[in-house]
Structure 1
Amino acid sequence: MIAVSWSGGKDCAVALRELRADPDVVVAGLLTTVREDVQRSSMHGVRREHHEAQADALGLPLRVVELPADVGNDEYEARMRTAHDAMASDGVERVVFADLFLADVRAYREANLADTPLDGCWPLWGRDTTDLAREFAEDFDAVVVCVDDDALDASFVGRTFDRAFLADLPGDVDPCGEHGEFHTFVRDGPGFDEPVAVEPTDCVTKTVGDGTFHYCELK
């Protein structure tokens, strides 16, 4: 059995679709993290209830790891280790990540799993991000919920992830946002029993660490 590391965004949705198409793979559920004080995903800024709605629409259980607002590596790794051990006790053997090409991120994930009974799995690793982005835009419905001001201005947040969005991206921005240029929330697509009924509303700009990010509220 496997569990999917779930951000709620496009890449993990594609990974889940491909895994579910394999008759030899059993998807046990989704694993996500939220800030415990605000109950939102840390980078995407999406409320926990929206991730729960995604899991319901996908017909999968969602395991949520709550993290402190200013979590350090040691505390993050300890809480994830607890979650991984609990998953292994439930029969999960592998955790699936939707990373595409960042070797340092993959190495960090592998190190976090090294002392657990679980292995990592990267079904999208090495895929061409332009092709993957276009494929996703054709098959899924997603909204852009966060953009990094260093890469994109505020006009990009709240937009639907579609061919028009891709056409407007500057040439130095990865079409899948693999460097963190933007993040998405998937509302519908293959594997969803029904759409997640949310729409982008208020947009806010926040300083996070040394960066500036534009977020879009979903209601």
Structure 2
Amino acid sequence: MRVAALISGGKDSCYNMMQCIAAGHQIVALANLRPAENQVESDELDSYMYQTVGHHAIDLYAEAMSLPLYRRTIRGKSVDTGQVYTRCEGDEVEDLYELLKLVKEKEEVEGISVGAILSDYQRVRVENVCKRLNLQPLAYLWQRNQEDLLREMISSNIQAIIIKVAALGLDPDKHLGKTLDQMEPYLLELSKKYGVHVCGEGGEYETFTLDCPLFKKKIIVDSSEVVIHSADAFAPVAYLRFLELHLEDKASKFEIDNDLKRKLRYVHCLCVCSSITDERVKNFISSDFFSDSQLITKNFANVYSFKSSL
């Protein structure tokens, strides 16, 4: 399936793209929603839907992947915040609709890669947009165990750094700019102490991907500054603003090698088995033949829509 990836620059949208490719899909374009450049404090937009911190580096992200990038300015607000979304003029969801409508027209895509893990608010709205455009949402991370996901992202060579903190126990001076690998033990500790979502699904932190197996080049941060958004005594909100960046050639060949593909496909089997109740289907997916062949690339591709877990 020809797929466009909805990206924020973070780890989740990146890892979901890797899952799409392992499932046999082709990423042909990237799509991103950004704040208006002339907006005060435009790096951190008050949005229920979109990560905007790090948006200045998205052009380099697309260049690192050698893929066309489609961007649209977020003009709307969070108008309809109910559990069920209906088309609403002036809502930020309509910006997503217009963006994906353009991508579909230009790139003839059939599916959209979405890195959502836990937010029903996002799920409902992405499903609404995709249904209106007759697009298949592909959300391989949906409702996965977050500790497992974080571990998989690190082992899959996703080099992402923390670019925003907003939780008890996360210190702007200590933790901004740290890699996932460096932060994993501490995030697990915070999860046990305070119930912090290990993958940041409660808004505790955000990331930006500097390198991964999908990148032909890696992103280097030459300089950045810390911006304090809210100086709360216990849980300050702060983010990194990138000032200078550049792309650098990678020493190793750009590809998802066969070993990594097998690992990702095995994850597919575990993921599907956790959301399917038909024991005959579970047994088939869990079989050695299925886990070592083409897996879910054809018959079970649609299992990974958000609706698989409803």
TM-score (ref. length: structure 2): 0.62
Normalized per residue, the structure richer in strand is 1
Distance of 2:55 and 2:97 partners within structure 1: 23
Name the structure 2 match of 1:52.
Answer: 59
Q: Which protein has greater RCO, CA pairs closer than 8 Å, 6+ apart?
A: 1
The partner residue of 2:203 within 153, 156, 180 is: 180
Name the structure 1 match of 2:137.
Answer: 120
Q: 1:18-37 alignment to 2 at 5 Å?
A: 18-23=19-24, 25-37=25-37
Question: Alpha-carbon deviations, 1:80-109, whole Å to 9, x = none?
Answer: 222222222231112121111333321222
Please say if residues 211 and 217 of structure 2, whose CA atoms lie closer than 8 Å, have aligned partners that are also in contact: yes
Please say if residues 167 and 236 of structure 2, whose CA atoms lie closer than 8 Å, have aligned partners that are also in contact: yes
Question: Alpha-carbon deviations, 1:110-164, whole Å to 9, x = none?
Answer: 12333223232211223221111112123121110011145633232221221x3
Q: What amino acid is aligned across from residue 31 of structure 1 in structure 2?
A: A
SS of the equivalent of 1:130 reads helix
Q: 1:50-129 alignment to 2 at 5 Å?
A: 50-68=57-75, 71-73=77-79, 74-75=89-90, 76-90=92-106, 91-129=108-146
Name the structure 2 match of 1:213.
Answer: 237
Aligned residues: 213
Please say if residues 3 and 110 of structure 2, whose CA atoms lie closer than 8 Å, have aligned partners that are also in contact: yes
Pair 176,56 (structure 1): closer, same or farther in 2 beyond 3 Å: same
Q: What amino acid is aligned across from residue 45 of structure 1 in structure 2?
A: V
Pair 72,175 (structure 1): closer, same or farther in 2 beyond 3 Å: closer
Pair 177,200 (structure 1): closer, same or farther in 2 beyond 3 Å: farther
Normalized per residue, the structure richer in helix is 2
Please say if residues 84 and 118 of structure 1, whose CA atoms lie closer than 8 Å, have aligned partners that are also in contact: no
Identity %: 22
Larger Rg: 2
